[in-house]
Copies of this chain bind each other. A is one copy, B any other.
Amino acid sequence: MRRTSFFLPTLRENPAEAQIVSHRLMLRAGMVRQASAGIYSWLPLGYRVLQRIENIIREEQNAVGCLEMLMPTIQSADLWRESGRFDGYGREMLRIKDRHDRDLLYGPTNEEQITEIFRDAISSYRDLPRVLYQIQWKFRDEVRPRFGVMRGREFLMKDAYSFDLNYQSAKRSYNLMFMSYLRTFGRMGLKAIPMRADTGPIGGDLSHEFIILAETGESEVFYDKNFLTFETPFIGDLNETALEECFSKWTHPYAATKELHDPNKNEELGSNILSARGIEVGHIFYFGKKYSLAMGATVTGPEGNKVILEMGSYGIGVSRLVGAIIEASHDEFGIIWPDTIAPFSVGLINVAVSNNDCDRECENIYIKLRDAGIETLYDDRNERAGGKFAEMDLIGLPWQIIVGPKGLKDGKVELKRRCTGEHLELSIENALTRISST
């Protein structure tokens, strides 16, 4: 992408309305613009990041056999009356009347809707287990939306729903998603620590939040320092035992949010306990028969008997992750994207546009990167170099190639790694090799 053809309205100043660093940086880097309170438009740079995150989630969900679908944003109130949640959900639910005065709502979550679909479609235990998921926009009418996309009203979520015949199978589904979440966040360069959690309005018996650590995180968390040595699990055998082992390993060391923290643990664990700031990026629930019982979702079991389905639900805050990753990965100059979710891998800076050598070599590099399938933002604007350097640092692409007339005389360009700040003078060929081998 040529910078002169792109739409990247960066800001020099920190916007007054932004209280936290991710909000400030997303506005300054031209990633989002507020449309109204807690509602954002995603500009091309921000939307690229959102799509990268979506794709990692999608690949990891598909890899463990989850099936993607899409439910509408607008739901009928009758459905929520069936489960009994319509009146109880409170003012966070955006309630709507259509032209025929029928009660609708903008879905804040989809347990009712998926239960209805599954109930009407599946009648035999032979069609179990199944996990269905969607990546869809949701709306929660927060009283005071703030912190940019971290606590917006319209937000993108991945929500999955599992359907099983019995507890044992449901626990396997829970463990499967638990493992898949560790992988998903790991691929984004994040260490997510699972913490036992309250179930809130979703309900149920068993629940974990996945919390990533960031100095600027929204809440205090406590965890065993052993977590820091744990590696992201591989998808190996997906049998019950292997999944239970992964679950046990990752739930054995102590971890708790401030609300659920047991102060006695401070003494018990001593120097093994660490306290930090954390951000919730995922939340999983096993709630058994809560919705299936209320809504009559049953199958015929192996003995011809009627069995009420066991269910769980599994959420990842997709748009929230964009902010959360920035909270976890930035410096005073701007964002530092992990390689896997960067909007472009390389920022190519032409220091002296109109200098023939610089223009020719930049075109040459740009085409080589394109042919190698490496996405590049080429800053071909006729502007002073200082502004270009600052903008590249701000938008946080993993690599910068800086092409200037002086270096070119020796056949060299400058290669900068954003996350380490490392600068190297290299031949063009070596610079490209180094990028390709990341």
Q: Give me the interface of A with B, judged by CB distance under 8 Å.
A: 5-7, 9, 30, 33, 35-36, 39-44, 47, 50, 65, 67-76, 78, 91-92, 94, 96, 98-99, 102, 104, 106, 113, 117, 120-122, 130, 132, 137, 139, 141, 143, 153-154
Chain B residue nearest to A5 in the complex (CB) = B65
Whether the pair B7, A41 counts as a contact (CB closer than 8 A) is: no
Which of B7, B30, B72 is A130 in contact with, Cβ under 8 Å?
Answer: B7
* A154 and B72 contacting across the interface, CB-CB below 8 Å: yes
Contact partners of A143 in chain B: CB under 8 A: 99
**Cβ contact within 8 Å between B67 and A41:** no
Least Cβ distance of A173 to chain B in Å? 13
Which residues of B are found within 8 Å of A130, using beta-carbon distances?
Answer: 5, 7
Q: Could you say which residues of chain B place their CB within 8 Å of the CB of A39?
A: 72, 74, 76
Do B76 and A35 have beta carbons less than 8 Å apart? yes
> How many chain copies does the complex carry?
2
Given contacts A36-B75, A36-B104, A76-B35, contact A69 B41 (CB under 8 A): yes
A36 to B73, CA, bound (A): 11
Nearest CB in chain B: distance from A136 CB, A: 9
Q: List 6 A-B contacts (CB under 8 A).
A: A7-B130, A39-B72, A44-B68, A50-B70, A72-B154, A74-B139
Contact residue among B94, B104, B113 (Cβ-Cβ distance under 8 Å from A98): B94
Residue of A6, A9, A92, A102 ringed by the most chain B CB atoms within 10 A = A9
Report the separation of the CA atoms of residues A199 and B33 in the bound assembly, to the nearest whole angstrom: 30
Q: Is the CB of A7 within 8 A of B121?
A: yes
Instruction: Please pick, from B35, B68, B92, B113, the residue contacting A71 in the complex, using a CB distance under 8 A.
Output: B35
In the A-B complex, list the 10 residue pairs whose CB atoms are closest, starting with the nearest. A9-B121, A36-B76, A42-B70, A44-B67, A41-B71, A39-B72, A91-B99, A72-B154, A99-B141, A47-B69
Contacts of A6 in B (CB 8 A): 67
Indicate whether A141 sits within 8 Å of B73 (C-beta atoms), given known contacts A7-B132, A104-B36, A120-B33.
no
Q: How many angstroms between the C-alpha atoms of A381 and B68 in the bound complex?
A: 21
Cross-chain contact B122 with A9 (CB below 8 angstroms):
yes
Do residues A117 and B36 form an inter-chain contact, with CB atoms below 8 A?
A: no
